[in-house]
Structure 1
Amino acid sequence: MSTPSSSSRGGFAASPLALGLMCLALFGIYITSDARLQTDSLWSIPSAASILHEGNTDLDEFRRSFFPGTAYARNEAGGHTYYVYPPGVMVSALPFLAAAEGLISLLEPVLPRMGTFGAEALAWRALFRQTGGVDLSAFARTEQLIASFYVAAAAAVLLVTLRRRVSPGAALVTVLLFGLGTTAFSTASRVLWQHGPGLLTIACVMLLLARPAQTGRTALLLGFWVAAAYACRPTHSLTVLVVTGFMALRFRRQLPAYFAGAALVAIPFCAYHLAVYGSVFSPYYRHSLDPLAGRFFMALAANLVSPSRGLFTFSPFLVLGVVGFVQRWRQRSLEPYEVAFALIVVLHWAAISSFFIWWAGHSIGPRFFTDVLPYLAYFLAFPVQTILEAPSRHRVLAGALVVTAVFSVFVHWRASISYDVHNWNSYPANVDADPSRVWDWKDAQFLRALPARYR
């Protein structure tokens, strides 16, 4: 197993301070980027409010807020209305919302004397406790703060994981590219999609899986985070399948602990769905895949290289992640868990290309690939280390990394501060009505990142 050289183990990049500053920097960048487009996330905060204030997850108390534009995000079951998306999303918001509401209540006597901050805090609590007709867009900032925390936390866990495999400097550069040059920035950190909490669960899975051995304690934690990933997003079922198979093949003695950890999430998850839908899976978890459809191979290509949905179009430096995997495979230095990481990415690519809405609806670039970005970043770290160790010997590779990184960071930054990039989804035509637009190089979504006066 390759490890960082002894000379690279010290220094600032290896320090806890670097880890902390990186997290603060990413979180600060995320929360000061103003583009917050609520779509799937609209009912995440009201659903969490319903849990805290009424002890249930239905949205019945918000019926006066229902309008046709949000109907796609609601389910009717047993005479009640529920948020259609996975329970992991609303549960992930609970600790932050409960803490904020409790702290505001505790400070209520002094908040009126704290000027604008105090007034805004009291106004937020009033909004959070409101039922009936509620301005859902007023929760966009709240969603952004929570989502930004989860993405920054995922970056922290990923950095710890990569420090075990490459030099601290290479790990830091790789994670910054993950955090600023991908849809982790332009999608997962914007509002409370499923992607933000899901990224943290996958980063934790990687941290625990990338070990030479498993103990009962680590297997228990691994099972918990694998199940939590599935509770956040159904496509993480691929992580469930691959990691469970990996444990069965290599650490069979730890399977009881692994399944015990998974049960901590699976039992309440199934119980909730049985109580609400009469089934262990909600309708959202029963979407079918159709790899035999005529569009499948076109969707495979579109999700990689199309001008408006391609992974390697919006984050071209990730091509080096593929290079990193191939190099390790050719050197016969792949660890078994690295094979698992790569297998999950390939299966995920096939799965998202089998969806009926393979273009990911109204979104920024390759949104559906967001969930496996930590796996891709893992393999990217090896070429990054090669470049940092001997930049003069790898000038072409270094130049390619710099140019593609600058391009990627610019595009995702613009998508996070301007709605111009988002507007591509609707103008001049709705992409849901005409998915072929993703191949239009004359009106590529990434070109909308350029300010209008330069286009």
Structure 2
Amino acid sequence: MKSDIKALVRGLRRSRLDVALGASVFLFVLIIFLISRVHQLADSNYSMLLSQSLIHHRSFTLDRYNIPRLLPTQQLFHVSNGSIYQLELVDNHIYYFWPPGTSVLSVPLVALMNASGVSAANAVGSYNPDGEVIIQARLAAILMAALASLFYFTSRLLLPPGWSLLLSLGTALGTQIWSTASRALWSDTWGIFLLGFVVFSLVAQELGIYRLRPALLATLLAWTYFVRPTFALPIVAITIYIVMYHRRLFIPYATVGAAWFSAFAVYSWYHFSQVLPNYYFVYQHFGSTPVWLALFGNLLSPSRGLLVFVPVLFFVSYLLLRYRAALPLRRLVVFSLVIVSIHLIVVSSHSPWYGGHCYGPRYSTGIVPWFYLLAVSGLQARRRSANEQTSRWRSLRRQLEASIGALLLILSVTINALGATSHATWLWNSRPVNVDQEPDRVWDWKHPQFLATWDH
């Protein structure tokens, strides 16, 4: 009886410690994100105005606002309102061209911002870009700080508090979470936030801690698709995972998923007279750059390379290979690697493969939660192997491993910090020549984007 009570007390203490550390991660990261000066409003312009249209006018159109009607301009997949490529003209109505999921999910927080006096519309109904920036900056920071905290709790399913703290902070500050997803409400911002809950659920299920809720899982995945179509890749992969390992959950999972997608199709047909909005056909456009070359660029080019901007991934890859015999979550590791690989191939076949105006490997932001899962698994495998009897040489090797891993993490944080705090790195996209007019700039090692602060 006494031992049971002691175990309960220890469990409660651990629980309180985890809550405190998880909250600390949220607050610490939130402060850093809020004080970071660069806000990358590009594709997401007008998305918060759409949220306000839903709040105040119950409409997906922006017709109620005093937006200048410009000459209709044919873009590749839509007719834009003049040079405002974020706005689509359909049957004399103005729509936000990008997927509506971000605007819909942001409604509660936008309503709070409106109540506090911050609005994406001026009193006369015209667009207020300054208000849009403030809303997006705050909401993106909150979402990504919450994701960092969620990462902490995910790794705690396997790792002790110290390692979980290091991994969650390292991922929040050493990846595109800081340099891209927290800088504005890119469509990936809401996407990886939702995907974080999916990863947590899958890890907990694999460890026998939590039973998958098929309806909740289907809902989370459906909304990732409603914010960005590339999240169809993890949806397909996880559906296969359900069929292979949790077949009894498939019917409720598929039923709820089908209901969500049917509702989305009805929305699209009502507004656009087609099953999907125009943006969802963007990824059918293949670029002229060979896929292998674009893939190389997305991995190793000086201004868009994933491994250049997040070099700590070299260490994660090493852990997965070196300690593969001790890897936990083997099924999820395999699925994560497949998702990452296919995602990189898909975005490399898209035009433009380099992501237009952005900082670094924006197109791989959506796979950061899978990298986190791989990092947790690799680190736990390394910890398992540490329990084995080791020689002096092995101890020295492990110390060298840790030193290299720490160095690569520091380098990753530094590079992503530059993207979040130095305006020169954002202006690199348009100076001295617009990168969309001269995309070969992304290959130039003499003037890489992350060194733009010192490139005069």
How would you bin the TM-score normalised by the shorter chain?
A: 0.7 to 0.9
Write out per-residue CA displacement over residues 70-95 of structure 1, whole angstroms, 9 at most, x where no aligned residue: 52111122221100111111012101
**C-alpha separation in 2, matches of 1:345 and 1:206:** 14
Alpha-carbon spacing, 1:394–1:249, altered in 2? closer, same or farther (3 Å): same
Contact 1:186 1:415 in 2 (8 A): yes
Q: Residue 368 of structure 2 aligns to a residue in which SS?
A: helix
Alignment of 1:48-447 (within 5 A): 48-65=51-68, 71-101=84-114, 104=115, 121-122=116-117, 124=118, 128=121, 130=123, 132-210=125-203, 211-212=205-206, 218-263=213-258, 265-289=260-284, 294-327=289-322, 329-331=324-326, 335-384=330-379, 386=382, 393-447=397-451
**C-alpha separation in 2, matches of 1:215 and 1:398:** 32
Alpha-carbon spacing, 1:260–1:70, altered in 2? closer, same or farther (3 Å): farther
Contact 1:308 1:446 in 2 (8 A): yes
Q: Which moved more, 1:262-271 or 1:304-313?
A: 262-271
**C-alpha separation in 1, matches of 2:305 and 2:83:** 28
Q: Residue 353 of structure 2 aligns to a residue in which SS?
A: coil
Alpha-carbon spacing, 1:437–1:29, altered in 2? closer, same or farther (3 Å): same
**C-alpha separation in 1, matches of 2:196 and 2:83:** 31
Contact 1:214 1:251 in 2 (8 A): no
CA RMSD, aligned part only?
2.8
Report the TM-score, using the length of structure 2 for normalisation.
0.86
Alpha-carbon spacing, 1:27–1:53, altered in 2? closer, same or farther (3 Å): same
**C-alpha separation in 2, matches of 1:441 and 1:307:** 6
**C-alpha separation in 2, matches of 1:264 and 1:370:** 28
Q: Report how far residue 352 of structure 1 moved.
A: 0.7
Alpha-carbon spacing, 1:131–1:404, altered in 2? closer, same or farther (3 Å): farther
**C-alpha separation in 2, matches of 1:13 and 1:215:** 20
**C-alpha separation in 1, matches of 2:319 and 2:345:** 21
**C-alpha separation in 2, matches of 1:423 and 1:322:** 32
Contact 2:174 2:412 in 1 (8 A): yes
**C-alpha separation in 1, matches of 2:264 and 2:123:** 27
Alpha-carbon spacing, 1:290–1:60, altered in 2? closer, same or farther (3 Å): closer
Q: Which residues of structure 1 form unaligned runs of 5+?
A: 1-6, 105-120
Alpha-carbon spacing, 1:387–1:310, altered in 2? closer, same or farther (3 Å): farther
Alpha-carbon spacing, 1:420–1:413, altered in 2? closer, same or farther (3 Å): same
Equivalent pairs counted in the alignment come to: 426
Q: Is residue 24 of structure 2 the alignment partner of residue 21 of structure 1? A: yes
**C-alpha separation in 1, matches of 2:31 and 2:137:** 11
Contact 2:180 2:359 in 1 (8 A): yes
Q: Which moved more, 1:148-157 or 1:236-245?
A: 148-157
Alpha-carbon spacing, 1:382–1:66, altered in 2? closer, same or farther (3 Å): farther
Alpha-carbon spacing, 1:354–1:79, altered in 2? closer, same or farther (3 Å): same
Aligned twin of 1:39:
42
**C-alpha separation in 2, matches of 1:269 and 1:375:** 26
**C-alpha separation in 1, matches of 2:59 and 2:443:** 44
Write out per-residue CA displacement over residues 41-64 of structure 1, whole angstroms, 9 at most, x where no aligned residue: 111111011111111011123343
**C-alpha separation in 1, matches of 2:440 and 2:50:** 35
Identical counterparts, % of pairs: 27
Contact 1:217 1:257 in 2 (8 A): no
**C-alpha separation in 2, matches of 1:29 and 1:389:** 35
Q: Residue 95 of structure 2 aligns to a residue in which SS?
A: strand
Contact 1:148 1:196 in 2 (8 A): no
Write out per-residue CA displacement over residues 371-414 of structure 1, whole angstroms, 9 at most, x where no aligned residue: 00010122123454548997865222222222222222122222
Q: Report how far residue 215 of structure 1 moved.
A: 8.3
Q: Residue 359 of structure 1 aligns to a residue in which SS?
A: coil
Q: Report how far residue 66 of structure 1 moved.
A: 6.0
Contact 2:333 2:377 in 1 (8 A): no
Write out per-residue CA displacement over residues 271-321 of structure 1, whole angstroms, 9 at most, x where no aligned residue: 211111112211110124467955211111111111000111011001222
Q: Specify which structure has the higher proportion of helix.
A: 1
Contact 1:324 1:379 in 2 (8 A): no
**C-alpha separation in 2, matches of 1:230 and 1:243:** 13
Contact 2:137 2:182 in 1 (8 A): yes
**C-alpha separation in 1, matches of 2:412 and 2:152:** 20
Contact 2:219 2:260 in 1 (8 A): yes
Report the TM-score, using the length of structure 1 for normalisation.
0.86
Contact 2:299 2:308 in 1 (8 A): yes
Aligned twin of 2:78:
none
